[in-house]
């Protein structure tokens, strides 16, 4: 699983990835900025409006909370971006590392949009449920968020990659048979979401890494 992430990192300079990397960075930056702006707006609503020390404290804490909320919600938002980039990223990965494979059957652009939004909504629900714990009990809450996010991200990234080469039922069955292995591969994805600037690369790196994860799991499943 670690090898999949190193391979993804090593291919960032590939000319075939230039377009999805640039588009992914722009889209991720816009999404992150929008999330920060939304968090600051919410913090403004929470201020008392009296202009005293309490108002200043709420505003200051609100700015910190806005960044925390933006970082935690970036994961689900980035999945919507990843759904749009997956085809180009997976094609580049397969051309370099799996040239012996038959051509994949890419999903239509619209189905990729729908899939990206659907999985983003699922991860969003998990992030929102874990958010109070993260803010109130930072240590335990952060560990719980990491574990839950790794599960959600790994599940959806894996199935998005698998759907290029098998139907939805087969993709789900393959993931379930190797759920722990797939979850482990999701831990770097969840951790990457927490690192400002680095998280902007998350959609492309996640799509590339889980293309490797899928092919590794599928290969081992054929051997067993």
Phi-psi region of 170 (alpha: psi -120 to 50; beta: other; left: phi over 0): alpha
Q: Which two tokens stand for residue 211?
A: 């293309």
pLDDT, position 84: 72
CA contacts within 13 A on the Cβ side of 82? 32
Using alpha carbons, select from 10, 174, 206 the residue that is nearest to residue 97: 10
What's the rounded Cα separation, in Å, for the pair 155 and 193? Answer: 16
Q: Range with the lowest mean pLDDT among 128-142, 161-175, 197-211?
A: 128-142
Whole-number pLDDT of residue 199: 75
Please check the confidence at residue 74 and state whether its pLDDT lies above 90: no
Residue 93's pLDDT is: 92
Q: Which residues contact 215 (CB under 8 A, 6 or more apart)?
A: 94, 97, 98
Q: Which of these, 84, 89, 93, lies nearest to 21 by C-alpha position?
A: 89
64's tokens: 């910190």
80-114 pLDDT tens trace: 666 677 788 888 999 999 998 888 876 666 766 67
- pLDDT score recorded for residue 216: 92
CB distance 125 to 72 below 8 Å: no
List helix spans (H) across the chain: 2-10, 18-46, 53-97, 109-136, 138-162, 168-177, 179-193, 202-223
CA distance 154 to 166: 17
What does the pLDDT average to over 35-48? 66
pLDDT in tens, 4-36: 998 988 888 888 888 888 877 787 778 778 777
């Amino acid at each position: 699983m670690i090898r999949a992430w190193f391979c993804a990192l090593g291919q960032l300079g590939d000319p075939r990835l230039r377009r999805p990397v640039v588009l992914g960075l722009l889209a991720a930056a816009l999404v992150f900025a929008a999330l920060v702006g939304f968090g600051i707006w919410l913090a403004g609503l929470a201020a008392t409006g009296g202009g005293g020390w309490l108002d200043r404290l709420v505003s200051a804490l609100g700015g910190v909370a806005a960044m925390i909320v933006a970082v935690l919600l970036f994961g689900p938002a980035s999945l919507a971006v990843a759904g749009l980039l997956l085809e180009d990223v997976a094609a580049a990965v397969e051309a370099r590392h799996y040239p012996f494979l038959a051509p994949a059957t890419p999903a239509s652009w619209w189905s990729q949009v729908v899939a990206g939004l659907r999985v983003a909504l699922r991860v969003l629900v998990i992030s929102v449920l874990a958010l109070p714990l993260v803010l109130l009990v930072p240590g335990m809450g952060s560990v719980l968020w990491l574990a839950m996010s790794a599960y959600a991200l790994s599940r959806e990234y894996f199935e998005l990659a698998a759907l290029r080469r098998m139907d939805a039922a087969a993709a789900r069955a393959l993931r379930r048979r190797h759920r722990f292995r797939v979850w482990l591969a999701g831990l770097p994805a969840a951790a990457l979401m927490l690192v400002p600037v680095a998280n902007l690369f998350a959609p492309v790196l996640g799509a590339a890494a889980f293309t490797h994860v899928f092919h590794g799991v599928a290969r081992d499943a054929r051997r067993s």
